Structure formats: C-alpha cells, structure tokens
Amino acid sequence: MPKINRYVDIDTVEREAKKDFIDRHSPFVHCENSAKKGEKFKVKVKMGNEYSHPDDFDHYISYVQLFNGETLLGQATFTAGALGNQKENLEVDFYIVPTRKLKLSAMSYCTKHGVWESDPISVEVSE
C-alpha cells in the first residue's frame, strides 16, 4: 500500500523548501458548507494554496479524486503537459447531486511524490 501524505499547517514549518513541498502537493476542497438535496452542487479541488506544482514529463499531478467518506464520487486524470509544461495550481470542478450529509475529501497523485489527501469538509444537506 502506498504511503498517503497529508497536509500540515505550513505556518508551523520553518524551512521554505518544506513549506513549498507540502503546499504544492496538497489538494484542498473548496465548496459551500450547505447544499440542497437533489440539486447540483459544485465542489472545487485545487492543488496547493500558496505554491504551484510542476507540469514536467516526469513530475506532474496524474489524477485528482473526490470522495464522500470512502465512496469515490469522481476522478479527473491528466497527462504530462496538460498545463502547458508550466508550474500551475491545478483546479478541478466536480458537480455532484447530494442526497444526504457529505464528508468530502480529495486525493491526488504526484508522479514523483505519491498520494496526497486533503482534510475532510462537512456539508449539510437540506430538503
């Protein structure tokens, strides 16, 4: 089983290189904290907040996944050069239709540094 890396608060990290490494590999889930049952709901997953990730032939984000608990809701897959071989904060918009409370998290895979997981986000779903 591959090691799963998790984000740590980069404000607590002293070395700039370590902050860069942690931030640019971490997926972050961005969405409203409430949704309506049966209506389309937008969830954005963004790679990194302060630092951008490379898009080189041997070092890029291969996929981004969105989960509700342990259930995979969607996946976006990328190849090297999808971002024009430029350092960039990869973003993926997922649209889901919730039926009950959500516990959303994202996972991503860097071809050089493995699997990274976001912190979970709770979303209340109302009628």
Give the mean model confidence (pLDDT) for residues 103-116. 95
Handedness of CA 106, 107, 111, 114 (dihedral sign): positive
User: Tokens in use for 80?
Assistant: 């090297």
Q: Which CATH superfamily is domain 4-126 in?
A: SOR catalytic domain (2.60.40.730)
Of residues 18, 10, 123, the one with CA closest to residue 66: 123
Q: In percent, how much of the chain has pLDDT > 90? A: 69
More confident residue, 105 or 24: 105
> The tokens 């740590």 sit on which residue?
8
**Number of Cβ atoms within 10 Å of the Cβ of 23:** 21
Q: Is the pLDDT of residue 2 over 90?
A: no
User: pLDDT digits over 66-99, tens only?
Assistant: 999 999 999 999 999 988 998 989 999 999 999 9
Give the mean model confidence (pLDDT) for residues 7-24. 76
